[in-house]
Amino acid sequence: MALDRLRFHSILVQEMSAPTETAERLAEVVAQATDEAVTDEQFQTRMDLTEARLLADHRAEINRLLKWMVGLGVAVGGGLIAVMGMLVAKL
């Protein structure tokens, strides 16, 4: 960005006959504004990363819930099998 600031300053002074002090201030203002600007590509990259993080978090939560459900299913299923076994043993 420093090189762009120097080019802009040079254009202001040489081609537009702007005073050096004014050109320096204007180049500084433009440099600060462009440093803080976010390009469409940067925005899209950030959005893609955010979407990927959200999907990963969602999948992790779904996996956690599925583990709980499978665990509960095994426990309840084992309990039912035990009860059925006890009933069959009594007959």
Phi, then psi, of 86 in degrees rounded to 5:
-65, -40
Instruction: Please say if the pLDDT value at position 26 is more than 70.
Output: yes
The C-alpha angle with vertex 51 and arms to 45 and 55, in degrees rounded to 5, equals 145
Tell me how far apart the alpha carbons of residues 91 and 41 are, in angstroms, rounded to a whole number. 74
Q: At 54, which amino acid appears?
A: L
| The pLDDT value given to residue 36 | 66
Continuous H helices in 18-39: 20-36
* Residue 78: both structure tokens together: 């084992």
* Residue 44: both structure tokens together: 């899209």
Position 43 confidence tier, pLDDT thresholds 50, 70, 90 = confident
pTM of the model: 0.50
